[in-house]
Amino acid sequence: MRSGVIAQKLGMTRVFTEAGDHVPVTVLKLGKCQVLGHRTKDKNGYVALQLGSGTRKVNNVPKAERGNFAIAKVEPKRKLAEVRVSDDALIPVGAEITADHFAVGQFVDVTGTSIGKGFAGGMKRWHFGGLRATHGVSVSHRSIGSTGGRQDPGKTFKNKKMPGHMGVDRVTTLNLKVVQTDVERGLILVEGAVPGAKGGWITVRDAIKKPAPKDLPKPGKFRLAEEAPAAKADEAPAEKKEGA
């Protein structure tokens, strides 16, 4: 079981295929998603990765959290999450997971927080049919009707479908197809709608009800923090030689 990622929903657009058909996609951005720590069976009783994404001002981070970020040698993150993985899918601490962690054409499961709708009635919240719109009903057409409470049981049971707060729930959408990936800009284009509002944080993982592609990178596709400075150091002498 591979690691998932933390992404930010930017919005929706469309992508045209070679046949001229357009595919509605949701654009997800990896805000420098890095591994902050490991959870092991010996110490924690389970195996998981602690991930962080986005940026946060140091002044707004408590001292205790600053120490955790300092140990991992990463800048403070805005969003944190734990992702369960198998023993052979651990990614080094400090590594940045790139967009090509997911292959084009594979299916993923996306989890986010749905948009809040405020206080809603039974017809909007639970799709009730409402009362009759003809004779016998006066100024209560959208009422939910009887809730079934009489002298016995003498109360309303919990979780009864009634008017109340709607939205702001944890929602998981299964089997969304990855259409495109952009490693340089850290973008993942997923076919279809994703739960949550623009700018909301979501988690993306391999689909559990669809087989994974055979060429999927394991334990994943990531970039170590030491690789970028090393590459620039190698390029600098070459530029001087050409100039000389």
Q: What is the pLDDT of residue 71?
A: 87
What's the angle, vertex CA 136, arms to CA 130 and CA 142, rounded to 5? Answer: 20
Q: What is the pLDDT of residue 227?
A: 56
Residues of the chain with pLDDT under 50: 228-244
Q: What is the pLDDT of residue 187?
A: 95
Cα dihedral 121, 124, 126, 132, rounded to 10, equals 80
Cα dihedral 129, 133, 134, 137, rounded to 10, equals 90
| Among 2, 29, 13, CA closest to 201 | 29
Q: What is the pLDDT of residue 230?
A: 41
Q: What is the pLDDT of residue 130?
A: 92
Q: What is the pLDDT of residue 133?
A: 87
Secondary structure class of 40 (helix, strand, coil): coil
Q: What is the pLDDT of residue 171?
A: 96
What DSSP character marks residue 116? P
What DSSP character marks residue 70? H
Residue type at position 11: G
Q: What is the pLDDT of residue 239?
A: 47
Is 94 within 8 Å of 73 (Cβ atoms)? yes
| Among 208, 224, 227, 210, CA closest to 4 | 208
Is 74 within 8 Å of 36 (Cβ atoms)? yes
Secondary structure class of 45 (helix, strand, coil): coil
Place of tokens 């809603």: 120
| Among 25, 30, 198, CA closest to 115 | 198
